[in-house]
Amino acid sequence: MSRPTDRLVAQVDGDTGTVVLSCAATVPRVPRHMTLAHLRVCLIGEGMHTVPEILAAGASTVLVDPACPHDATALASCIERWQAWCGPERVGVWQPEGHFWRAATPLDLTSRAEARRAAFGVLTRREPEEEDLGRSDEARLRTALRELGIHQENGSDQAERAPASRTQAARTQEARTQETRTQADEGISAAARLEVSDACTACGVCIRSCPNDALSFALEGDTTGLMHDPGRCEGEQSCVSLCPVSAITTDGSWPLERSVQAESVSLIEMRSVECTRCGQRHRGEGSLCESCSYVAHRGLGAAMSVEEVLALGRPHRY
């Protein structure tokens, strides 16, 4: 059974304007032109990916009801993080408006539903069946921020695009904004920063062992590069534990801003040749890769090579 926020994301589409989020504390009265989502659970425990996913699904603005019976301070910290990632113009705090005649009806989040436009056969920007709700909260957060393009637009290259005639106040405000984003990013990304030594044989075990397809080979001429996509990595490190030559190690984690960017990192480049037997490219001078060479010289997995067996001569007959 999916969580209430998962079912909420499934109901948001490109026509959704402002979404008001409230947890189990109260059911606020909001104007009918807004979308009221009463979760009936604690918003803090639903994951930091919740608000970015709602925005990526099509909502223009998300307003969070600050009333929290469990920990109002923690909720306020979550709102600050969402504002640092998505901008204060897209994430805010719900404040009751003046008198209005008709109030919005809370969405039914007790069962999984399709997006409203899907019922008429109209495709939305993000269909619910395409969502992999089994991924970790960190991975879902990175995916949502990547779709929003937040960190690419407001990243470290902002200072290079800004004019040189900025005032001291503008520079101070940019520094505070960057500091706020750094604090919001802290402890979020689980993407491992991988390092590969020259012991790598380009066997491909790490690529096949990664459950998120974060590793791949890039071939250019006779050079093979091992590429790593931090945006897909969830830090399981199966590539590290299963490497047959222990060539892969980790050096901490990537920051959230870097893991959101849709750019792969080159871990190592090596000269490679194509195996004449299986067609797999390998690092070495011979015509056979390591596996095919082993099979060719040690038939059926024998501990001794064919040459070593023939050197023993015929067995004695009694």
DSSP secondary structure letters along 138-151: HHHHHHHHHHHTHH
Give the per-residue pLDDT at 156. Answer: 43
Check pLDDT > 70 for residue 206.
yes
Q: Which of 25-34, 153-162, 283-292 is predicted with the least confidence, judged by mean pLDDT?
A: 153-162
Give the per-residue pLDDT at 131. Answer: 47
Give the C-alpha distances (Å, rounded to integers) separating 303 from 138, 139, 286, 295, 313.
46, 45, 21, 11, 17
Mean pLDDT of 314-318: 52
Give the per-residue pLDDT at 315. Answer: 55
Beta strands, E only, 25-71: 35-38, 61-64
201 vs 245: CA distance, rounded Å = 8
Band the pLDDT of 93: cuts 50, 70, 90. very high
Band the pLDDT of 16: cuts 50, 70, 90. confident
Q: Which of 138-142, 158-162, 196-200 is predicted with the least confidence, judged by mean pLDDT?
A: 158-162
Say if residue 241 is exposed, middle or buried (CB neighbours under 10 Å; 0-12, 13-18, 19+): exposed
53 vs 12: CA distance, rounded Å = 10
Check pLDDT > 50 for residue 153.
no
Check pLDDT > 80 for residue 220.
yes
Band the pLDDT of 120: cuts 50, 70, 90. very low
118 vs 14: CA distance, rounded Å = 11
Long-range contacts of 289-296 (CB under 8 A, 24+ apart): 289/203, 290/201, 290/203, 291/203
Of all residues in the chain, the percent with pLDDT exceeding 90 is 16
**pLDDT tens per residue across span 125-150:** 444 444 455 677 888 888 888 888 76
Q: State pTM to two decimals.
A: 0.67
Give the per-residue pLDDT at 249. Answer: 95
The torsion of the CA quartet 285, 287, 293, 299, rounded to 10 degrees, works out to -160
Check pLDDT > 80 for residue 301.
no
Give the C-alpha distances (Å, rounded to integers) separating 52 from 83, 96, 175.
10, 23, 23
Instruction: Decide: 190 and 237 in contact? Cβ < 8 Å.
Output: no
Instruction: Decide: 33 and 152 in contact? Cβ < 8 Å.
Output: no
Check pLDDT > 50 for residue 308.
yes
Question: Taking Cα atoms as reference points, which of 303, 278, 304 lies closest to residue 291?
Answer: 278
Check pLDDT > 70 for residue 152.
no
**pLDDT tens per residue across span 21-68:** 888 777 788 888 888 888 877 888 788 888 998 998 888 899 998 887
Q: Which of 203-207, 256-260, 312-316 is predicted with the least confidence, judged by mean pLDDT?
A: 312-316
Most confident of 18-22, 70-74, 123-127, 219-223: 18-22
Average pLDDT of the chain is: 76
